[in-house]
Amino acid sequence: MKGYTLENGTVVINRDLTELDFFVKSFLDVLKKHSGFLIVSGFVSISTGRTRGTEDVDVLIPLLEYEKFKEFFDDINKHGFWCYQGNDAKEVYSYLQEMTSVRFAKKGEVFPNMEVIPVTPKRKTKWFELNHPQDIKIKNFAFKVSPFEFEILYKEIVLGSEKDIADARHLRDFFKDILKNEKFKEFEKIIRLEL
Amino acid sequence: MKPMANLDYVSLYAEMLRENNKFFLQQKMLIDSQIKASSSLFKNRFAGKDFKTEARKYLRAVGLLKP
């Protein structure tokens, strides 16, 4: 069987769930009740087959109003997560207001963690990603990631570490049958605004 | 013959995965074992202590949390 198939625009990865997938799924099952989200960076490559370890999974969310954030914070605590930055919603929200990410891990664990990155329209590239999701499904685990062409270019042009270049190469080769040149051209203009 | 570089292996593996999903099994083994090892390491390290307090001390020391 092929590594992935395309079903009505959703990329279905044909594999079993890993412990990392179960961790991300348990977090997103709570988050999606309270907010929109988009997975970016390493987990996009890893979830599609890149064989490397990771300690954090990056997730973009729109900057929430405090009351909405508190509802999420209380809910995620009830579902067995703790926050690196503090035990109190108000204290943790102050980081988000400063546009600083906050991290959550399972209670009794340090890694992996979910790095929650707040985004507003002022952060043009991240806001664009958040509003142009690509759906992915692995068994019963459905989530949204940035468009693969965007993710590849962001890793190659903005991030550029050895790990990022390898992640980008993986995505280019794994998805070579569905990547579109016109999207690369469109997204490169947006990404270069960030430089 | 030119030796393969790291990126060549990344490409080769991605192509193998694209064509045959049985190669995902190796990836699952690596990821699952990493998570189990990390869990075991920190449970032992902070055993008998207040987990969050000790974890935050560690996270500050490695720069993942502001002092």
Half-sphere exposure of B52 (CA within 13 A, CB side): 11
What's the rounded mean pLDDT across residues B3-22?
Answer: 92
Compute φ and ψ for A119, nearest 5 degrees.
-135, 140
Q: Residue B1's pLDDT band (boundaries 50, 70, 90)?
A: low
Residue written as tokens 């999903």? B21
Question: Which pTM value belongs to this model?
Answer: 0.95
> Could you tell me whether strands A113-119 and A38-40 are parallel, antiparallel, or unpaired per DSSP bridges?
unpaired
Q: What strands, in cross-sheet order, belong to the sheet with A81-83? A: A4-7, A10-13, A134-138, A141-145, A38-40, A56-62, A113-119, A102-106, A81-83
Tens of pLDDT, residue by residue over A135-185, are 999 999 999 999 999 999 999 999 999 999 999 999 999 999 999 999 999
What's the rounded mean pLDDT across residues B43-53?
Answer: 91
Omega prior to A112 cis, within 30 of 0: yes
ipTM of the complex: 0.92
Question: Which pLDDT score is estimated for A193?
Answer: 86
Cβ-proximal residues to A168 (8 Å cutoff; 6+ apart), any chain:
A45, A151, A152, A153, A155, A156
Q: What is the 3-state secondary structure (H, E, C) of chain A?
A: CCCEEEECCEEEECCCCCHHHHHHHHHHHHHCCCCCCEEECHHHHHHCCCCCCCCEEEEEEECCCHHHHHHHHHHHHHCCEEECCCCCHHHHHHHHHCCCCEEEEECCCCCCEEEEEEECCCCHHHHHHHCCCEEEEECCEEEEECCHHHHHHHHHHHHCCHHHHHHHHHHHHHCCCCCCHHHHHHHHHHHHCCC
Q: Do A18 and B6 touch (CB under 8 A)?
A: no
Contact present, A148 and A156 (Cβ < 8 Å): no
Mutate to test the interface with B, among A173, A176, A178 (most CBs of B within 10 A): A173
Triad A165, A167, A170: Cα angle to 5°: 110
Q: Which residues of chain A have pLDDT under 70?
A: none
The region of weakest confidence among A6-20, B17-31, B39-53 is B39-53
pLDDT of B4 strictly over 80 = no
**Where does residue A80 rank: exposed (0-12), middle (13-18), buried (19+ CB within 10 A)?**
middle
B contact residues 5-64, partner A, Cβ 8 Å cutoff: 6-7, 10-11, 13-15, 17-24, 26-28, 30-32, 34-36, 38-39, 42-43, 51-52, 55-56, 58-59, 64
Q: Do B14 and A173 touch (CB under 8 A)?
A: yes
Contact present, A183 and A128 (Cβ < 8 Å): no
Q: How many CB atoms lie within 10 A of CB B17?
A: 27
